[in-house]
Each structure stands twice: as structure tokens, then as C-alpha cells.
Amino acid sequence: MALELTRRRTMLGLLSAALWSATGSAIAFARDAVALLPGKMALRRLTHRPPNYETPLEYFRSTLTPNEAFFVRYHHAVIPSGSAEDHRLEIGGSAVERSLSLSLPELRRDFAVAEVVAVCQCSGNRRGLFEPPVAGLQWGHGAMGNARWRGVRLADVLARAGLKNTALEIAFDAADAPPLDATPDFIKSLPIAKALHPDTLIAFEMNGAPLPEPNGFPVRLVVPGWTATYWIKHLNKITALESPEKNFWMSTAYRMPRSIFPLVSRFPSQESGERAPVTEIAVNSLITSMEADGALVAGRSELRGIAWDSGLGIDRVEVSFDQGLTWRRCELGENLGPYSFRPWRADWPALPPGQYEVWARAANRAGQVQVEKPIPNPSGYQHNAFHRVPVRVSA
Ligand SMILES: Nc1nc2c(c(=O)[nH]1)N[C@H]1C(S)=C(S)[C@@H](COP(=O)(O)O)O[C@H]1N2
Ligand SMILES: [Mo]
């Protein structure tokens, strides 16, 4: 059974729409652009088939994003069924000694359980904020979420299959398909180092509950620090390769000019002269405490938000009330691990009455800093410009 999408407008939907439009996003909000997916509350709909829904900004006020509000992204309209009983995970390819076929009970029984809190962020998050506009889904700030993922280590499963030292990449597939054969099957691969990293999981739980159907039930790949394109949902096939995976989603899509995005975490077997695959999540932050009209009221609104990066660690978050002339350091909050959203807050400075804009920027321990203007690139990836929010200071 494919996902049944409920298109009914509910009270919840209307409420969420009202909240969303109140967050002051630059994205226009169509009045009917809410719909319900199984296990979800009303999210902002970008497309219905395939389902692409983003999380309204107010849900980022909690460090962990509620499962019901977690964004949903699919490339293909035909989505695998969610039957846990029949699901099997096949492991094979020329770079393993033996093929495996694992049921979910076997996966849970035979391997140690591991957990990680990590941000799952689409490479194209905030694409809709690029000026001039870039083709592709016009995401606002909500093509991301932070969750506690629980599952087994990919490294352990590969070890059971007898990974050979000739292995170069590990490829991942699921049963989703385009309605016609127009677009190629969605397959992604990882370099061996990232695949074998102890934080890379085959996850069956999200925030203490089974994965919601639209977030990959019954199992998905979790690749902490790397953008969500690698986080294959409904994972059913793992192939150990001795040569680079060459399908469209690796060789053409999700690539960026190398010179403008120097990466710490690289994927050498997929790099060409001038282009490299998107890998790590760029350092980023968001202000989350706006009033219903999308602005902050000095002294009355809280001044807080979240920051995150690829796991190198948030070093500092700063806010500016004078267009970046001077910056004030914020206080960092609870630390749920290097791949998690890190909450931050600040006290209000004394400001003469008037209208302002507050800018927020984060920097990580590797010295990467957010940028004042998003770095233009052909597919609108890795938008990490300062978040800017209007501020009112009354007399
Ligand atoms: N099976 C499958 N997995 C997939 C995709 C997909 O289209 N099919 N899209 C990827 C992309 S591009 C993103 S951004 C994330 C989104 O994860 P979510 O829907 O759980 O938020 O799933 C990834 N995994
Ligand atoms: Mo994505």
C-alpha cells in the first residue's frame, strides 16, 4: 500500500497555517498548502506527489524536532509500503565475502544497538531564499530536523558480510520508484570512511518511537554530519562497490563547484576536476523566538535560537543589531552531542527606540563561519547566510 495522503483541511491544518504565516518567512504561503501525511501534523506543503513537506519554524524552539512535525522529502511519487514483517535488508556486492539478507528482528537481535542525536538537513534547505531564485523545490527554513536516532552500526553489518579491503564505496537503495521511467532510481553511495564511522547507523527508531512512515519506516540510514540526501529511507539494499557509483544522483545531482565550497569531509572517489558532491552540513543558525507577527520585541520577546554544523562543534553564536558592525556573543545551551542542534540565548542590549534588524551568525571549532550573503551555486545548496529578523524597540 502506498502512502495515503489526507488532503482534508483540519482545524490543526488551519492553525498550523496561521502559525507559519506568522513567522515572517519570506516564502509566500498558499492558503490551501497544508495537508496531512500519516503520523504527521499539518506541515507546509511544497508538492503533494511526490510528498514534500516542510517543518514550520516554531517547532525548532525545542532542541529535538517532534516526529509529527519532522519534514518529509521524496524524489519519486511511488513510495515503498511500510510493512515491517516482510522487510528485508540485502547486503551484497563484489566487495563483500558473502551476501546477507536480514529481517528486522535479526537486525535488532544480532547487532549492538547504538544511538546518536543528529540533524537531518536537506542540501536544498532554504533554496527558496536565494536571490535571484534557483530552480528546484522552494524550501524555506524547515527542510531539516533534529532527532535522537537509534539503530545498529552500518560498520557492524558490513563486518558480518565480510567487507573486503578492496571496497571503495557503499551504495544504498530503497524501493521507491518514479511513476514512469522518466527519472532514475534514487541510489546514493558513501565513501568507506564515512560508511564505517561508528556514528553511521541503520536506524529503526526516532525520538524513542518507530520511524514515522514518511521518514523511512521501517529502517533508514543515518549519516550524522552529512546532508540528508545520503540518509536513504526504507533502506532495503546495501552494495559494497570496488568502483565509484555512477548513477545520476551521484554523478550529476547534488554536486557543487569545489572552489567556492571547500569541504572538510571529502568524498574523493566522487570528485571530478571542478565539482565535488555535497557532503557535510554547512555551519548555520536560526532565530526561533519571534512573536506572532514574525518580529522580536526588545525586552519582551526572548532572544534565542539554534545553531548546528557537521559535527565539528559549535564554537560561538553572535547577534548584531547594527548590520554586522558589532557582534555580541550569545550563551550556548544544552549539548546533546556534536551533530545536534545547539540552543543559544542572549540578553537584550540597551537600544534606543526604533526599528532594527537582528542578525545571527554561528561559527564552528574548525573556524567555519556563516556568510552575510548566500553563496550562489547552480542548484541552490547549502544556504547558510545570517538569519535576519525585524526588531521593535518601543519608547
Ligand atoms: N528512499 C528515499 N530516501 C531518501 C530520499 C528519497 O527520495 N527516497 N530523499 C533523501 C533526501 S534528498 C532527503 S532531504 C531526506 C529527507 O528525509 P525526511 O523525509 O525523513 O525528512 O531523505 C533522503 N532519503
Ligand atoms: Mo534533500
* Lowest-confidence pick of 146-150, 177-181, 216-220, 353-357: 177-181
Domain boundary among 249, 277, 305: 277
C-alpha separations of 278 from 100, 137, 288, 321 in Å: 30, 17, 27, 33
Same domain, 145 and 290: no
Q: Which atom, in ligand 1's list, is nearest to the CA of 145?
A: 21
With 90 as the cut, is the pLDDT of residue 221 above it? yes
Best residue for ligand 1 mutational test, from 3, 5, 44, 233 (most atoms within 8 Å of Cβ): 233
CB of residue 188 inside a 6 A radius of ligand 1: no
217 lines ligand 1 (CB under 6 A): no
Domain termination residue (choose one: 277, 311, 332): 277
Q: Domain of 292?
A: 284-393
* pLDDT surpasses 70 at 21: no
Does ligand 1 lie within 6 Å of residue 234's CB atom?
yes
Mean pLDDT computed over every residue of the chain: 90
Query: How does pLDDT run across 29-41, given as a tens digit for each residue?
Result: 333 445 568 789 9
| 228 in contact with ligand 1, CB cutoff 6 A | yes
Higher pLDDT, residue 258 or 123: 123
How many A from CA of 386 to the centre of ligand 2?
21
Q: Which residue has the cell 503533494?
A: 48
List, for residues 151-203, the tens digit of each pLDDT value.
999 999 999 999 999 999 999 999 888 777 678 899 999 999 999 999 999 99
Number of H helices, E strands in the chain: 5, 25
In total, how many domains does the chain have? 2
User: DSSP states of 295-363 as a string?
Assistant: -EETTTS--EEEEE-SSS-EEEEEEESSTTSS-EEPEE-----TTS-EEEE-PPPP--SEEEEEEEEEE
Using CA positions, which residue lies closest to atom 4 of ligand 1? 232
Ligand sitting nearest the alpha carbon of 175: 1
Residues 226 and 294 in one domain: no
Decide which of 277, 296, 327 is a domain's last residue.
277
Nearest protein CA to atom 10 of ligand 1, as residue: 229
d(C-alpha 372, C-alpha 137), whole Å: 23
pLDDT at 35: 57
What CATH number is given to the structural domain containing 304?
Answer: 2.60.40.650
Reported confidence tier of residue 273, pLDDT bands at 50, 70, 90 = confident
